[in-house]
């Protein structure tokens, strides 16, 4: 499941943050590293950001790669486990009934077979509704986490751009109306995702996640699996038929 943040939300958050920085002249508590290849003394910029460089950031990846993002999405994944297990149990029950119908159907009378078929259909519909509700709830909770982090990360993006002579920062996330985003290609030298994540981790004070089994740590920007699995479509069943009377 992809994060459903819209580009307008991201743009609005960054623009509002830029306005706040310009009005107050304040700076985030975390010290921002210089961009690769940037001059030792960055040029003095006005509130509008008059630099000439163009930078790129994958906002979605930055949110998930931050220590806070990893912590909160992992916690969400654990909170959703009981619902996931409940849905799986209901799905297993339906699969058992389907198997019973397929293996014993020839031995059942028409009434019993019809009742079993209707029972499967009713349980399948109820499961699909429950799964849709669970998926919507998961999406809402994911977006709440992402929006909260983005609101605190946006001023860092603006400050970093202003300090390092950027006149434009483009978002390379693929969570918008284009199949893979409007940016067809960009060189890695333009990407400022990592320094933003590093600065945000310093500002948030959230410790990095503990290494998982296998000796690897997070920080890749890969979204933890908190998605509710959609139940399988009901298998087609043969309608009950009545044998014609013997002539």
Helix 193-204, helix 110-163: angle, nearest 10: 90
Report CA-CA distances (Å) from 129 to 52, 85, 93, 118.
52, 16, 16, 17
Cα(197)–Cα(221) distance, integer angstroms:
10
Q: Is residue 220 part of a domain?
A: no
Work out the burial of residue 18: count CB atoms within 10 Å of its CB; fewer than 13 is exposed, 13-18 middle, 19 or more buried. buried
Work out the burial of residue 30: count CB atoms within 10 Å of its CB; fewer than 13 is exposed, 13-18 middle, 19 or more buried. middle
> Smallest Cα–Cα separation from 32: which of 207, 167, 165, 172?
165
The pairs formed by 209-217 with CB atoms below 8 angstroms and a separation of 24 or more are 209/67, 209/70, 209/71, 209/74
Q: Which of 45-59, 156-170, 176-190, 220-234 has the lowest mean pLDDT?
A: 220-234
pLDDT at 224: 56
Q: Is residue 200 part of a domain?
A: yes
Place of tokens 């390379």: 172
What percentage of the chain has pLDDT greater than the value 70?
61
Q: Is residue 213 part of a domain?
A: no
Q: What is the DSSP letter of 169?
A: E
pLDDT at 210: 86
Q: Is residue 176 part of a domain?
A: yes
Q: Is residue 38 part of a domain?
A: no
21-25, 54-58, 182-186 — which one is most confidently predicted on average? Answer: 54-58
Task: For residue 82, give its domain range.
Answer: 7-26+50-204
Average pLDDT of the chain is: 75
What percentage of the chain has pLDDT greater than the value 90?
48
Q: Is residue 171 part of a domain?
A: yes
191 — phi, psi (to 5°)? -75, 130
Cα(174)–Cα(3) distance, integer angstroms:
10
Q: How many domains does the chain have?
A: 1
Report CA-CA distances (Å) from 5 to 9, 35, 144, 146, 176.
7, 27, 10, 8, 8
Q: Is residue 235 part of a domain?
A: no
Is the Cβ–Cβ distance between 202 and 30 less than 8 Å?
yes
For residue range 62-113, what is the model confidence (pLDDT) as tens digits? 999 999 999 999 999 999 999 999 999 999 999 999 999 998 888 888 899 9
166 — phi, psi (to 5°)? -90, 135
pLDDT at 129: 96
For residue range 183-240, what is the model confidence (pLDDT) as tens digits? 766 678 889 999 999 999 999 999 999 887 655 455 555 555 555 555 554 444 444 4
């Amino acid at each position: 499941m992809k994060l459903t943040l819209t580009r307008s939300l991201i743009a609005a958050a960054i623009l509002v943050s830029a306005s706040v920085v310009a009005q107050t002249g304040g700076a985030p508590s975390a010290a921002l590293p210089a961009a690769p290849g940037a001059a030792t003394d960055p040029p003095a910029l006005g509130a509008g950001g008059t630099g000439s460089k163009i930078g790129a950031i994958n906002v979605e990846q930055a949110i998930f790669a931050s220590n806070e993002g990893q912590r909160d999405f992992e916690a969400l994944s654990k909170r959703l486990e009981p619902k996931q297990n409940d849905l799986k149990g209901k799905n297993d029950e339906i699969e058992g009934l389907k198997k019973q119908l397929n293996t014993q159907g020839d031995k059942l009378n028409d009434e019993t077979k019809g009742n079993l078929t209707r029972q499967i259909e009713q349980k399948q519909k109820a499961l699909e509704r429950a799964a849709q509700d669970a998926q919507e709830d998961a999406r809402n909770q994911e977006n709440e986490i992402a929006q909260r982090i983005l609101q605190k990360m946006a001023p860092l993006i603006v400050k970093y751009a202003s300090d390092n002579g950027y006149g434009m920062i483009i978002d390379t996330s693929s969570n918008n109306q284009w199949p893979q985003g409007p940016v067809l290609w960009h060189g890695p030298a333009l990407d400022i995702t990592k320094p933003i994540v590093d600065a945000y981790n310093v500002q948030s004070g959230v410790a990095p996640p503990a290494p998982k089994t296998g000796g690897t740590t997070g920080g890749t920007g890969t979204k933890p699996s908190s998605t509710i699995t959609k139940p399988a479509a009901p298998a087609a069943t043969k309608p009950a038929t009545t044998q014609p009377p013997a002539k």
